[in-house]
């Protein structure tokens, strides 16, 4: 059971550990900031339920879901010669015995199922970006008030430099990582990894994963 | 007070506690009870005044008036009074005033007679 789900379990545990680590590191930084501005340090429980923690988590989530959404959707239309992540032609639906029922029935259900990965990733991106904007408004306003400045409304916040700084600093790193993967996987190999072309595959061979 | 004020916040439930703290602070100032008013300041705000705080807080000439709008965001709050704008911080012992006698500074922070 554990062996058959090793990949999911590994990332689940890594996610939990990293999130826990972020909560303690974030608490330390938050309390340093509080003491520096004449405020009061808070407990771990208060910090992990605060808007400051929520916005830091959500801004990273939205960019990761955007990265996968774009990777899933843009590769439908755009091709990169030599990349194992690029398709070579029309993939088609390839219904066969054993295919999921929603792939076989046709109509709306098959249309939804045929786009379900992109739809779910897209919904996760939109929801986490919205969560970033709401938590960001609250965290920004707490900071504004602690600096003796007026709070802002949600529409004002989503057009503010703070919101777009948080958003774009995450997006640029995701786009660079995807570009690196697309381009480097043309010429470089990782033996046994399904994300790489086979070691012996020619550089110009497109759409073959190990 | 009795009237419902506009409260903007993710912690809107804190509005009455913020208003109470503000009301106690300006009531103490109006009654000439400097020590009581200073006890409602944050430590940093109290330190920002010349010693002794109990005298100098009364010399500032703070005028409160009825609260017109309350904004509470996490551990920070702002109350717009008819005659002043006041900023509060929530610490372990409740809401304390961190800025009073404040004039808007445009894009910059409010210019406050008492701040810390």
CATH of residue B12's domain is: 3.10.450.50
> What's the pTM value of the predicted model, to 2 decimals?
0.89
pLDDT digits 0-9 by tens, A118-172 = 999 999 999 999 999 999 999 999 999 999 999 999 999 999 999 999 999 999 9
- What was the pLDDT predicted at A116? 94
Coil/strand/helix, residue B87: strand
- Is residue B53 predicted with pLDDT exceeding 80? yes
- pLDDT of B1 reads 39
Amino acid A28: pLDDT:
98
Contact B89/A at CB under 8 A? yes
| Number of independent structural domains in chain B | 1
With beta carbons under 8 A apart, name residues in chain A contacting B108. 149
Neighbours of B112 (CB within 10 A): 23
pLDDT at B2: 44
Residue B1 domain-assigned? no
Sketch the domain layout of chain A as residue ranges. Answer: 50-91+115-187
CB contact under 8 A, A145 and B91: no
Contact A65, A128 (CB under 8 A): yes
Q: How far apart are CA B51 and CA B56, in angstroms?
A: 7
Q: How many helices (H) and strands (E) does chain B have?
A: 4, 6
B56 domain-assigned: yes
Residue-range definition of the domain harbouring residue B26: 7-115
Of A42, A51, A151, the CB nearest to B8: A151
Q: What is the pLDDT, as a whole number, of residue B45?
A: 94
Cα(B70)–Cα(B88) distance, integer angstroms: 11
Residue A93 has pLDDT above 80, yes or no: no
Count of CA atoms in the C-beta half-sphere (13 A) of A46: 12
- Would residue B35 count as lying in a domain? yes
Calpha distance A27→A46 (Å, rounded):
9
Residue B87 lies in a domain: yes
């Amino acid at each position: 059971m554990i062996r058959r789900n090793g990949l999911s379990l590994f990332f689940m545990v890594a996610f939990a550990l990293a999130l826990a680590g972020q909560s303690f590191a974030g608490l330390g930084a938050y309390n340093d900031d509080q003491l520096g501005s004449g405020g009061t340090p808070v407990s771990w429980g208060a910090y992990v339920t605060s808007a400051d923690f929520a916005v830091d988590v959500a801004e990273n989530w939205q960019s990761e879901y955007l990265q996968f959404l774009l990777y899933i959707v843009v590769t439908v239309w755009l091709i990169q010669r030599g990349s194992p992540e690029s398709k070579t032609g029309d993939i088609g639906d390839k219904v066969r015995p054993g295919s999921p029922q929603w792939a076989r029935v046709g109509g709306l259900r098959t249309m939804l199922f045929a786009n379900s990965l992109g739809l779910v990733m897209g919904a996760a991106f939109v929801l986490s970006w919205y969560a970033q904007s709401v938590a960001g408004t609250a965290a920004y306003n707490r900071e504004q008030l602690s600096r003796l400045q007026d709070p802002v409304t949600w529409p004002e916040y989503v057009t503010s430099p703070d919101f777009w700084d948080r958003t774009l600093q995450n997006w640029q790193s995701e786009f660079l990582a995807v570009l690196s993967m697309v381009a480097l996987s043309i010429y470089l190999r990782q033996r046994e990894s399904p994300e790489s072309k086979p070691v012996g595959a020619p550089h110009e061979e497109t759409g073959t994963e190990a | 007070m009795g009237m419902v004020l506009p409260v903007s916040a993710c912690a809107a439930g804190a509005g009455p506690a913020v208003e109470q703290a503000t009301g106690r602070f300006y009531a103490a100032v109006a009654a000439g009870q400097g020590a009581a008013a200073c006890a409602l300041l944050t430590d940093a705000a109290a330190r920002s005044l010349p010693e002794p705080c109990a005298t100098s807080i009364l010399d500032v000439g703070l005028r409160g008036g009825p609260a017109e709008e309350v904004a509470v965001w996490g551990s920070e709050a702002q109350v717009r009074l008819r005659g002043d704008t006041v900023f509060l911080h929530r610490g372990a012992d409740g809401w304390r005033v961190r800025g009073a006698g404040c004039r808007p500074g445009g894009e910059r922070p409010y210019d406050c007679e008492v701040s810390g």
